[in-house]
């Protein structure tokens, strides 16, 4: 298998170097009566560098493999083949025990803040439990400090997730991730469940934290307008293949792929514009 031309997404050194990544799932719907189920290829040889200290947007439609790709970066999923070099170390082939010390550096913020915060635990416990595990504090004061960083008052430490609004829950999710001072954060569709008013807040917050803490973030979204606002670079996935990548402004100004073009053309921008309808893909 020949490698595609190597990605030069940016001049900055890479934190992640992914080479020829493949992943497939068994397709249980089409499993024959006897024998193994056929496999659906979700990622078909992805090679990508994720630059250190920058926010890289990963965009695509449902079924593009973007979330699956993200979950391999934080090793919630195991790749079938290919390399996942994190700071030079191939984490794609490590087992859970070998991964555990590395996990502090690979944090994640989830799409659904209700399901990702344990409903039985108070906010303080949600934030401090991982800190204790890695011997990085975990006192009440640490919880309050982390809440402060995401703009939530100290009394939130004693609340349960269901007592918070969607935007507040997502801030708690961010607080939990940054409290470990990780080197990488995966943000998986973190604003798609939020109201517009809190969307902008959460994005601004994440952008500010990334800058202050020098974080490397992979920001998964189906919404290019959000990516443009937050990210330095963007990668466009389609059916498990990278179809476009580069600095955000370059990709937005001169998209290389028709997929990117149609994604851009489909964003309903808040302005009256009859021309918007002109370019609509047919079914």
**Phi first, then psi: what are they for 200, rounded to 5°?**
-60, -40
Nearer to another protein, 47 or 125 (CB): 125
Binding mask 86-125 for another protein (x = CB under 8 A): ----------x---x--xx-xxx-xxx--xxxxxxx----
Nearest-Å Rg of the Cα atoms of the chain is: 20
Site string for another protein, 200-219 (x = CB under 8 A): xx-xx---------------
Single residue of 160, 181, 247, 256 touching another protein by CB under 8 A: 160
The least distance separating another protein from the CB of residue 271, rounded to whole angstroms, comes to 6
Shortest Å distance, C-beta 254 to another protein? 13
Residue 111 near residue 189, CB atoms below 8 Å:
yes
Partners of 237 in the beta sheet? 242
129 lies in the site for another protein, by CB under 8 A: yes
3-class DSSP assignment, residue 13: coil
**Whether the Cβ atoms of residue 161 and residue 122 lie closer than 8 Å to each other:** no
Q: Which contiguous run of DSSP H or E holds residue 186?
A: strand 184-188
Only segment of 47-55, 78-86, 139-147, 267-275 that touches another protein (CB under 8 A): 267-275
Count CB atoms within 10 A of the CB of residue 12: 15
Least separation in angstroms between CB 176 and another protein = 7
Q: Which is nearer to another protein, 19 or 233 (CB)?
A: 233
Task: Please state, in angstroms and rounded to a whole number, the distance separating the CA atoms of residues 178 and 163.
Answer: 22
The sheet with strand 184-188 has its strands ordered as 106-109, 184-188, 216-221, 55-59, 233-238, 241-247
Binding residues for another protein (CB under 8 A) = 61-62, 74, 76, 96, 100, 103-104, 106-108, 110-112, 115-121, 129-130, 133-134, 160, 162, 166, 176, 180, 195-201, 203-204, 222-226, 228-229, 249, 252, 262-273, 276-277, 280-283
């Amino acid at each position: 298998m020949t490698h595609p031309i190597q990605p030069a997404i940016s001049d900055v050194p890479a934190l992640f170097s992914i080479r020829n990544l493949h992943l497939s799932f068994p397709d249980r719907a089409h499993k024959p009566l006897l024998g193994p189920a056929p496999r659906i290829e979700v990622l078909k040889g992805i090679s990508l560098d994720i630059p250190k200290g920058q926010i890289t947007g990963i965009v695509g439609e449902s079924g593009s493999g973007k979330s699956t790709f993200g979950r391999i970066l934080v090793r919630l999923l195991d790749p079938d083949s290919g390399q996942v070099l994190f700071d030079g170390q191939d984490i794609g082939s490590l087992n859970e025990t070998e991964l555990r010390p590395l996990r502090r550096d690979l944090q994640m913020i989830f799409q659904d803040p209700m399901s990702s915060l344990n409903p039985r635990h108070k906010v303080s416990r949600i934030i401090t439990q991982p800190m204790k595990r890695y011997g990085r504090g975990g006192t009440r004061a640490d919880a309050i400090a982390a809440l402060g960083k995401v703009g939530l008052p100290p009394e939130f430490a004693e609340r349960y997730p269901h007592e918070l609004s969607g935007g507040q829950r997502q801030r708690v999710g961010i607080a939990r991730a940054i409290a470990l001072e990780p080197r990488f954060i995966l943000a998986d569709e973190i604003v798609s469940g939020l109201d517009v008013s809190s969307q902008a807040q959460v994005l601004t917050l994440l952008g500010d934290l990334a800058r202050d803490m020098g974080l490397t973030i992979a920001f998964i979204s189906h919404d290019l307008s959000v990516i443009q606002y937050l990210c330095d670079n963007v990668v466009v996935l389609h059916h498990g293949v990278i179809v476009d990548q580069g600095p955000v402004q370059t990709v937005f100004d001169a998209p290389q792929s028709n997929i990117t073009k149609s994604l851009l053309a489909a964003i309903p921008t808040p302005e009256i514009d009859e021309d918007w309808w002109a370019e609509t893909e047919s079914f």
